[in-house]
Amino acid sequence: MLDAKLKGQLATYLENLTSQVELRIAVDEQHQAKKSAEISDLANEIAELSPLVNVVAQTKSDVRKPSMEVVSVKNNTSVTFAGVPMGHEFTSLVLALLNSGGHPVKISEEQVAEIKALSGSYQFETYVSLSCQTCPGVVQALNVLSVINPNITNTMIDGSLFQEEVSQRNIMSVPSVYLNGELFTQGAVTIDKILTKIDPQADAKQAESLNDKDPYDMLIVGGGPAGAAAAIYAARKGIRTGIVAEKFGGQVTDTMAIENFISVKATEGPKLVTGLEQHVKDYNVDIMDNNKAVKLSKDGLINIELENGARLSSKTVMLATGARWREMNVPGEQRYRGAGVAYCPHCDGPLFKGKRVAVIGGGNSGIEAALDLANIVEHVTVLEFDSKLRADDVLQRKAKAAKNIDIVLNAMTTEVVGDGTRVTGLIYQDRVSQVSKNVELAGIFVQIGLVPNSEWLKGDIALTARGEIEVGQRGETSIEGVFAAGDVTTAPYKQIIIAMGDGANAALGAFDYLLRAPSAESANDSEQAA
C-alpha cells in the first residue's frame, strides 16, 4: 500500500507518538475482499513503523466493512475510516494517528476547553470522495473534536465504496456530514463553525473576543491568494495587520490542478493554501478565520461589521473577498442543489459513477470538467450557450475525441427537473430553432464563470454593473483608506498569480497611504491650534 518514500516519511511522523494507538480492523472478505485486503495491509504496514501502534480485529458487530478505527488507548477516544483512507484522506489518517497517540492538536487552548466542555453524545458521519479536496478539512476538523472529547466520534465514509448507503440517504454532494443520524451540514465547515452549530453560546463568545481587539493599521477582508499576499506585504512593513475571512484559501481550496503557477510545475489547491497559510503565520498577522463580513462603514477609522455581531476597526482596509461559482438562476437549481446540481466535478464526480450527467458551460472549466467526468460517469453532455466553445483548442480536441462526451451548442438551460428528491434531467432551448428539449440525467455540473463576493458592499462603495469593485492603479477604491485586490475587483484576468500580485500592489498602496495620511495625534493637534 505504501511505497518506500511514504513509509519513511510516515515513520518519521510516528516518532512523535507518546501513547499507545490501536487500529481496529473490520473486513468483509465476501463482498469487499479487495478493499478489505487493502485496509488490512495498510494497518499492518503502519504498525510495523512504530512500537506504539498495534492492529487488532474489530469486536463491534454494527460497523461498516471494510473500516479502520483509530483508538487512543489512554484517552478512550476514537475516529473511524470506512473505506481505505488514501488519496486526499491519507493526511487525515496521519493526523488521526498522531493526535490519538498524544501529539497535541494544533488549535487554540480556548477551543480545546470548549470542546472538552461539550456535554451529550455526538456521533458524526462524514461522507466523502477520495478525490475531493474540500473533504479532508472537514474530516480533520471533526476528528479533532473526536480525539479531545470521548463523547464525540467521527466516521469518514468513502461514498464510492458505500454506494447503497449513499443512495438510501440521497447523498449527491460531498462532504455531507450527519450528526446522530440527521443531516448536519454539507460543504466546507471548520471547527469554529461546527462548535457554533452545536454550542449555542459559541457565536456570542467569539463576538465578545473580537470586539476586544484594538484597531489595526491594515485589516484584510478575505483569505485567498490576494488577501494572503496583502497580509505578508503589510506585515513585512512592521504594521499591525489582521485577516478576517470566511475560509482561509477561498476558492483555491476547491481547485484540483494548478499548472500555471510560476516556479512550480504543478500543484493542487489545498497544498497551495497550506503553504499560503503557513507563510502568513510566519509573520505577526492576526488571523480571524470563519468570520463573514456584512457591513463596511467609516467614522475616522474604517469599520467592518461581522455576521456574529462583532465589529473590527482599522486605519486602512483591504477588500479581497474573491468570487464564487456563477449559478444558472433557472427553476429547480436551488431546490436540487446538492441533490444532483453540483459545482465541483472533482468533489462530487465519483458519486455519479456509471450515470449520465451534464456540464453547463463550454469554457476551459467546463471542458476540463467534462474530460474529468468522462473517466467516471457513463456519459457527459456539454451544453454551451454560445455558437462555439470558448475552451482552449487542445481541450476541445480531447473532448470531441471522447466517445462518451456530446457537445451541444446554442443551448440555453431553462429548467432543472427532478422527482422531488433528486435531479432526473434538465430542459434546454435551442437558441436557433427555439425548440425545447429534455435531457434525462442524474447530475448537472455548473461551470459558467464567477460572481464577485461584493453584495455586502452595495451602496457603500463604487461597483461595476457586474458587481466588481472599481479600483485604481494602487488598488484604491472610492472610499479613502479602503483598497481592494483580486477576483472581487475589475482586474481583467482572474488568475491565482495575478490575484497575488494585486494583493501585494494594493498592500503597498495602502502602506503608502498610511505614510502620507495625517495621524490621529497630528489631526487633534491641528484642531486644538485652530
Q: What pLDDT shows up at residue 187? A: 87
Q: What pLDDT shows up at residue 458? A: 96
Q: What pLDDT shows up at residue 526? A: 43
Q: Confirm if 150 and 118 have CB atoms less than 8 A apart.
A: no
pLDDT along the chain (530 residues), means of 10: 91 96 94 94 96 95 95 96 94 97 91 90 95 90 97 96 91 92 91 86 82 96 97 97 93 79 88 92 92 95 96 98 94 93 87 95 94 96 97 95 97 96 96 97 94 96 97 97 97 92 98 84 45
Can you say how many angstroms the Cα of residue 366 is from the centroid of all Cα atoms in its chain? 20
Q: Confirm if 95 and 85 have CB atoms less than 8 A apart.
A: no
- Active-site positions? 344, 347-348
Cα(136)–Cα(512) distance, integer angstroms: 40
Cα(81)–Cα(155) distance, integer angstroms: 6
- Could you write out the three-class secondary structure of 445-508? EECCCEEECCHHHCCCCCECCCCCECCCCCCECCCCCEEECHHHECCCCCCHHHHHHHHHHHHH
Which domains are delineated in the chain?
4-199 (3.40.30.80), 210-324+451-523 (3.50.50.60), 341-446 (3.50.50.60)
- Residue 376's alpha-carbon distances to 128, 158, 351, 357, in angstroms, are 16, 15, 9, 10
List b or e across 138-154, with b for residues whose CB sees 16 or more CB atoms inside 10 angstroms. bbbbbbbbbbbbeebbb
* pTM score: 0.75
Gyration radius of the chain over CA positions: 25
Residue type, 200: P
Q: What is the DSSP string of 245-285?
A: ESSTTGGGGG--EE--STT-S-EEHHHHHHHHHHHHHTS-E
In a 3-state reduction of DSSP, which class is residue 180?
coil
The answer, yes or no, to whether the previous bond of 175 is cis (omega within 30 of 0) is yes
Cα(126)–Cα(179) distance, integer angstroms: 9
Please write the tens of the pLDDT for every residue from 291-348.
Answer: 999 999 999 899 999 999 999 999 999 999 999 989 999 999 999 998 899 988 877 8
DSSP state at residue 519: P
- What helix, strand, coil percent values describe the chain, rounded to 5? 35, 25, 40
Length of the chain: 530
* Other Cβ atoms closer than 10 A to 126: 27
- Residue of 14, 126, 144 whose CA lies nearest to 81: 126
In a 3-state reduction of DSSP, which class is residue 289?
strand
The DSSP bridge partners found for residue 77 are 72
- Residue of 26, 116, 130, 134 whose CA lies nearest to 75: 116
Q: Confirm if 155 and 82 have CB atoms less than 8 A apart.
A: yes
The residue written with cell numbers 479502520 in the block is 68
The DSSP bridge partners found for residue 463 are 469
Cα(392)–Cα(238) distance, integer angstroms: 44
- Residue of 78, 60, 80, 77 whose CA lies nearest to 68: 80
- Residue 156's alpha-carbon distances to 142, 214, 504, in angstroms, are 9, 41, 39
Residue type, 463: L
- Residue 144's alpha-carbon distances to 102, 108, 155, 201, 289, in angstroms, are 12, 12, 12, 20, 17
Cα(76)–Cα(150) distance, integer angstroms: 6
Q: What pLDDT shows up at residue 22? A: 97
DSSP state at residue 337: B
Can you say how many angstroms the Cα of residue 219 is from the centroid of all Cα atoms in its chain? 22
Q: What pLDDT shows up at residue 525? A: 47
Can you say how many angstroms the Cα of residue 236 is from the centroid of all Cα atoms in its chain? 28
Q: What pLDDT shows up at residue 1? A: 82
Cα(94)–Cα(79) distance, integer angstroms: 12
Q: What pLDDT shows up at residue 134? A: 85
Cα(528)–Cα(530) distance, integer angstroms: 5
Q: What pLDDT shows up at residue 190? A: 87
Please write the tens of the pLDDT for every residue from 133-144.
Answer: 889 999 999 999
Q: What pLDDT shows up at residue 132? A: 87
All residues at 6 or more sequence positions from 109 whose CB lies less than 8 Å from its CB, including other chains: none
Q: What pLDDT shows up at residue 224? A: 96
Cα(10)–Cα(509) distance, integer angstroms: 45
List b or e across 206-226, with b for residues whose CB sees 16 or more CB atoms inside 10 angstroms. bbeebeebebbbbbbbbbbbb
Q: What pLDDT shows up at residue 519? A: 64
